[in-house]
Amino acid sequence: MDLVLDGIVKRVGPQVWLHGMDMALHPGAVTVLLGATQAGKTSLMRIMAGLDVPSEGRVRVDGVDVTGMPVRERNVAMVYQQFINYPSLTVADNIASPLKLRGEKNVAARVRELAERLHIEMFLQRHPSELSGGQQQRVALARALAKGAPLMLLDEPLVNLDYKLREELREELTQLFATGDSTVVYATTEPGEALLLGGYTAVLDEGRLLQYGPTAEVFHAPCSLRVARAFSDPPMNLVPAQATPGGLRMPGGTELPVAVAHGGQATVAFTLGLRASALRLQARPGDVAVQGLVELAEISGSDTFVHAATPWGELVAQITGVHYLELGSSVTLHLDPAQAYVFGAEGALVLAPARPGRN
């Protein structure tokens, strides 16, 4: 399905929820809508589905203007944060409902196939109320897949599940989407989820589309500070810097050998961006060191997040492995200048690290 949004604006009373949004989804691929709560993700998806009409702009599907066409006249499948199933029907009948509406044959075989793909085949004769939250969401996903719609919209479908279930379903969804023919739109607040799903990512903030492109490209080359903030978890470390003949002068006087154009003006201000994963406890040749005091050492899974007070401000380092650091103890963080992002005074990207695997 070719879905094109042309100048989409959504107003609710005096408030503007979506600002002049243009986007052409890549057919047959996954597009992730990434942004914080109230970034405009759900508003945009409701317009894509036909649940709402834009205040301005047009929605085109395969070249046909469908603006204002109600959802019942469109072939769209949607999965919400709150898993929605028919409580009086068994799991099997829930999944079969769109198949029966289309008058398909071999419904039972298709239901079992989908149930097996989502690991709920043992629950086919149960009712939704007899299932856990994760199992109910799998039923909702199976029913959406059974619909076979050319457009599938998923509005933060895993947000209400516990951590383990989210991890399991993320991996399964990645495989399901890869083998499907639908154009998929998936809304999330989590950068890690966007990276796992791959495909394309549209970064939204306060109802504006900031950047849209292949997920890896948007992650490695965010066009602005706003995109970098939205596509970093934990948040990107941001440090004010001044231009020098040799690169950038950081707070405290440290010189960072980063080549940025500044027209020979020594007073040009930049913002240095460092992902938490770019900071290390062990030095490597060519590294720049930053001294600090440990404010917090948080162990999460197989990583340790070290919060340190430094002359550059508070820095967060994501260190692989489990490390026990005493609060208030001295710590030296090391970074490779080649891993630095540099943003100009207006927030636009000036310099990004070389992409992995690219010259």
In which order are the strands placed within the sheet that holds 30-34? 76-79, 151-155, 183-188, 30-34, 200-205, 208-214
Q: What is the pLDDT of residue 356?
A: 66
- Mean pLDDT calculated for residue range 199-217: 96
Percent of residues, the chain, with pLDDT higher than 70: 96
12 contacts 60 by C-beta, under 8 angstroms: no
Say how far apart CA 152 and CA 169 lie, in whole Å. Answer: 16
281, 283, 294, 315, 322 from 332: Cα distances, Å? 6, 9, 10, 11, 17
Say how far apart CA 37 and CA 44 lie, in whole Å. Answer: 13
Average pLDDT, the chain: 89
Number of other CB atoms surrounding residue 355 within 10 Å: 12
The domains found in the chain, sorted by start residue, are 3-230 (3.40.50.300), 237-351 (2.40.50.140)
Say how far apart CA 167 and CA 164 lie, in whole Å. Answer: 5
Please, which pLDDT band fits residue 268 given cuts at 50, 70 and 90? confident
- Mean pLDDT calculated for residue range 23-32: 93
Please, which pLDDT band fits residue 247 given cuts at 50, 70 and 90? confident
Please, which pLDDT band fits residue 263 given cuts at 50, 70 and 90? low
Q: Is the dihedral of CA 5, 71, 28, 39 positive or negative?
A: positive
348 is written with which tokens?
């636009």
Query: Among residues 357, 35, 352, which one has the least CA distance to residue 222?
Result: 352
Please, which pLDDT band fits residue 84 given cuts at 50, 70 and 90? confident
Whether the pLDDT of residue 200 is over 80: the answer is yes
Which range among 119-123, 231-235, 258-262 shows the weakest confidence by mean pLDDT? 258-262
- 272-307, pLDDT tens digit by residue? 999 999 999 999 999 999 999 999 999 988 899 999
pTM comes to: 0.88
Q: What is the pLDDT of residue 314?
A: 96
Whether the pLDDT of residue 132 is over 80: the answer is yes
Whether the pLDDT of residue 266 is over 70: the answer is no
23, 122, 293, 322, 345 from 329: Cα distances, Å? 49, 53, 6, 17, 35
Q: At residue 21, what are phi and psi to the nearest 5 degrees? A: -95, 125
Q: At residue 245, what are phi and psi to the nearest 5 degrees? A: -55, -30
Q: How many residues are given for the chain?
A: 359
Query: Among residues 217, 158, 154, which one has the least CA distance to residue 183?
Result: 154
To which H or E segment does residue 288 belong?
strand 288-300
Please, which pLDDT band fits residue 265 given cuts at 50, 70 and 90? low
- The residue among 158 and 309 whose pLDDT is bigger is 309
